[in-house]
């Protein structure tokens, strides 16, 4: 028992140290306002106010960063695309380096291989689009004629003159808005220049990220204070592994959708198989809804060109492969790296699309997944390999003895 010069301490403090106050015990206490006004404010309100202004500061900073990035889309989109491309190409470069190939030669082989594949795909798709467009145009014209016959001779019994006036009305509207069309052409020209500029910047950034990305990150980490260098390095490595796993998994999922849709279109003898396959492949990088949107576009083309029966067959294939992706591919291939709840993924897609359109929908999920992985590492919930660190069981407090 603890003692003092005046004698032993009274229980309960004479047997053990006082139990620390739990945070929840202060929820209903009142504290004095430091201005001396004598007003007593609940501690809950003080804590809520403290949290509120800090959250407002963080949201303001995020809003300012987003505002700047939206005005630099010509730089942000190629840079983000280059990061995803680097995550996809780095396994090839690392495989070559592990076999003794120098940094420069392995980067050169990887970039040449990627450009050759990309150029071949673009050439094949453009060639097939030029060859298949006349067939689609003929089928569309035949579909319009059949629709006109159905509207005039079918159960609606519309006047043929009314149907014919639709085409003339559209022509008059186009002639009346030649200025708008001209401005649209100018805008399209500017967009083409932006696309070319972005493509050149994308290739430049991809080359140097594949060749020197690890050194750039190491230089950036060394700018931080020494006590935070290891944390930043580990968080970056954890985020990069998540991003690499995500882009590799999504590539496999996109390839699955492309092969399934292409095979179905070839069996149905639909036009523009190669361009539609490319659209499906690109949109498949948007989780949840990307493949469905691209499949709906392909269904419209098949409906116009081949009829409702073939379109129904394509819809059935889309539904089946969507179930395969949701219950097999996403959990086993992508879910190992992207540990996000479907609600979080859906919210990220909507927010990204509202803020930055299609680029926001494509880049939003990998960005959130990488930040989530880094945050879990920094908070001590996961290690560098993504393994969950179990929390130590907190000992239950001992009962306090009474006098």
Whether 129 and 301 have beta carbons less than 8 Å apart is answered as no
The pLDDT, as a whole number, for residue 136 is: 60
Peptide bond into 132 cis (omega under 30): no
- In whole angstroms, give the CA distance from residue 178 to residue 197: 29
H-run or E-run covering 185? helix 178-222
Q: For the chain, give every domain's residue range.
A: 75-140+178-223, 234-387
Q: How do residues 246-258 score in pLDDT, each as one tens digit?
A: 888 888 888 988 9
In this prediction, residue 110 has a pLDDT band, given cuts at 50, 70 and 90, of: very high
The residue ranking higher by pLDDT, 171 or 228, is: 228
Distance CA 200, CA 184 (A): 24
pLDDT at residue 18 greater than cutoff 60: no
Task: For residue 257, give the nearest of 309, 305, 308, 328 by alpha carbon.
Answer: 328
User: What mean pLDDT is reported for the chain?
Assistant: 76
Summarised one tens digit per residue, pLDDT across range 386-399 is 677 776 644 454 44
Cβ–Cβ under 8 Å, residues 375 and 89? no
pLDDT, tens digit, 9 for 90 and up, residues 311-368: 899 899 888 888 888 777 777 777 777 777 778 888 888 888 887 777 887 888 888 8
Candidate ranges 96-100, 132-136, 331-335; pick with highest mean pLDDT = 96-100
User: Are residues 116 and 263 in contact, defined by beta-carbon separation less than 8 angstroms?
Assistant: no
* Residue 159 in tokens: 């006047």
> In the prediction, which pLDDT does 52 show?
92
**How many CB atoms neighbour CB 261 within 10 A?**
27
Distance CA 302, CA 271 (A): 8
Query: Which position has the token pair 């929840």?
Result: 24
- At residue 100, does pLDDT exceed 60? yes
Alpha-carbon distance 311 to 89, whole Å? 37
* pLDDT over 90 percentage in the chain: 9
């Amino acid at each position: 028992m603890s003692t003092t010069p005046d004698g032993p301490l009274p229980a309960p403090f004479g047997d053990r140290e006082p139990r620390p106050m739990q945070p929840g015990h202060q929820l209903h206490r009142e504290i004095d306002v430091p201005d001396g006004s004598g007003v007593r404010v609940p501690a809950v309100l003080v804590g809520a106010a403290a949290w509120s202004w800090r959250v407002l500061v963080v949201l303001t900073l995020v809003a300012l960063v987003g505002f700047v990035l939206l005005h630099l889309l010509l730089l942000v989109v190629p840079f983000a695309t280059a990061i995803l491309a680097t995550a996809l190409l780095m396994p090839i470069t690392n495989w070559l380096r592990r076999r003794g190939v120098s940094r420069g030669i392995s980067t050169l082989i990887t970039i040449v291989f990627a450009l050759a594949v990309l150029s071949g795909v673009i050439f094949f798709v453009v060639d097939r689009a030029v060859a298949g467009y006349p067939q689609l145009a003929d089928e569309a014209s035949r579909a319009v004629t059949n629709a006109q016959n159905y509207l005039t001779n079918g159960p609606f019994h519309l006047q043929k003159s009314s149907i014919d006036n639709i085409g003339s009305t559209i022509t008059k509207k186009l002639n009346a808005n030649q200025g708008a069309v001209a401005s649209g052409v100018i805008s399209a020209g500017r967009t083409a220049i932006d696309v070319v500029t972005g493509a050149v910047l994308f290739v430049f950034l991809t080359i140097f990220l594949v060749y020197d990305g690890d050194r750039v990150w190491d230089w950036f980490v060394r700018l931080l204070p020494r006590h935070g260098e290891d944390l930043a390095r580990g968080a970056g490595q954890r985020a990069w592994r998540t991003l690499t796993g995500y882009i590799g998994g999504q590539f496999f999922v996109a390839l699955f959708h492309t092969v399934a849709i292409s095979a179905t279109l070839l069996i149905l003898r639909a036009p523009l198989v190669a361009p539609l396959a490319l659209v499906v492949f690109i949109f498949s990088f948007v989780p949840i809804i990307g493949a469905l949107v691209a499949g709906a576009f392909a269904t419209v083309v098949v409906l116009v060109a081949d009829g409702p029966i073939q379109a129904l067959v394509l819809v059935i294939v889309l539904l089946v492969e969507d179930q395969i992706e949701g219950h097999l591919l996403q959990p086993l291939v992508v879910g190992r790296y992207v540990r996000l709840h479907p609600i979080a993924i859906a919210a990220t897609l909507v927010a990204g699309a509202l803020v930055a359109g299609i680029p926001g929908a494509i880049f939003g999920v990998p960005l959130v997944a990488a930040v989530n992985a880094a945050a879990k590492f920094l908070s001590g919930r996961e290690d560098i390999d993504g393994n969950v660190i179990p929390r130590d069981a907190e000992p239950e407090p001992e009962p306090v003895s009474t006098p």
